[in-house]
Amino acid sequence: MATGSTNRFAGQRPESQLQRHRPLVLRTLGGRAREPRFQLQVALGLLFAFFVGAFAHVVEDYLDREALTRWDVEFSTWLHVHADPTLTSFFQIVTLAGNVVTLAIFTVAVAAWFMRRGRINEAVVVLVSALGIEVLNGALKLLFHRQRPEYAYVHLDTYSFPSGHATGATAIYGVVIYLLVRNGARSARVLAAVAFAALIPLIAFSRLYLEAHYLSDVLAGCSLGAAWACATLFVYEARRGVDPGR
């Protein structure tokens, strides 16, 4: 009887032996999947793919003159008809938060703050990310060559698609807020996320209300800026993973 039992289980390997015989890649991935930093990188990668897809979808609608571009004109006209002087003045102030000069001053100030605290890597990330998104946005404006809305409150010589305010604000504020509260308390991270979620739509809508952009311009800008922020932070986290001392 004992012999039969021995024969029956002879071909089965203990769990520890099965673990040792699993491919090294699977064991490595299985171990990394439980690491918070790896999970964060996966989340950033998925968000990057989502926002790139959203940007591509808006671009497709714009190039094919689909429903979104019809909404552009109708919504711009509706805002022009229902404009209120008080709200116009309010959004003229709000929109300054996404102005290239404001963002440049903010970026340099934050980078200097990081450097004074010995956080050189974070300072470099902020500067490179801000410069990169402004160059990318400028190149895309030239590529799409879209004229500004007809009823714009101010005359702007640059092209309309995508919105530079929406793109720059989303990318730069997103990266900076992440770096500032990354290791902070949970309450600080939640508060920062709420502030970011309130600020970016306000800046984006200010461009619509002032009729400096169409709806598709700001949607493309927010998507592009978010994708750029996710890509920047993915690289940042990946480098931290290679050198834990960073």
CA 99-102-107 angle, to 5 degrees, is 120
- The whole-number average pLDDT for the span 27-37 is 59
Question: pLDDT digits over 79-134, tens only?
Answer: 888 888 999 999 999 999 999 999 999 999 999 999 999 999 999 999 999 999 99
Percent of the chain at pLDDT exceeding 90 = 56
For residues 203 and 182, which has the higher predicted lDDT (pLDDT)?
Answer: 203
Question: pLDDT digits over 211-243, tens only?
Answer: 889 999 999 999 999 999 999 999 998 887 555
Given a cut of 70, whether residue 25 has pLDDT beyond it is: no
Q: What is the pLDDT of residue 245?
A: 46
What is the token pair recorded at 224? 């592009």
| CA terminus-to-terminus distance, the chain | 62
Other C-beta atoms lying within 10 Å of the C-beta of residue 235: 15
Mean pLDDT check: name the lowest of 53-62, 187-196, 237-246.
237-246
Mean pLDDT of all residues in the chain? 84
- The whole-number average pLDDT for the span 180-197 is 88
What is the token pair recorded at 232? 């920047």
Percent of the chain at pLDDT exceeding 70 = 80
Nearest to 195 by CA among 208, 210, 206, 180: 180
The pLDDT-based confidence of 177 (bands split at 50, 70, 90) is: very high
- Residue pair 212/162 in contact by the 8 Å Cβ criterion: no
In Å, how far are 58, 110, 137, 206, 232 from 68, measured between CA atoms?
A: 8, 37, 21, 19, 29
- The whole-number average pLDDT for the span 176-194 is 88
DSSP 65: T
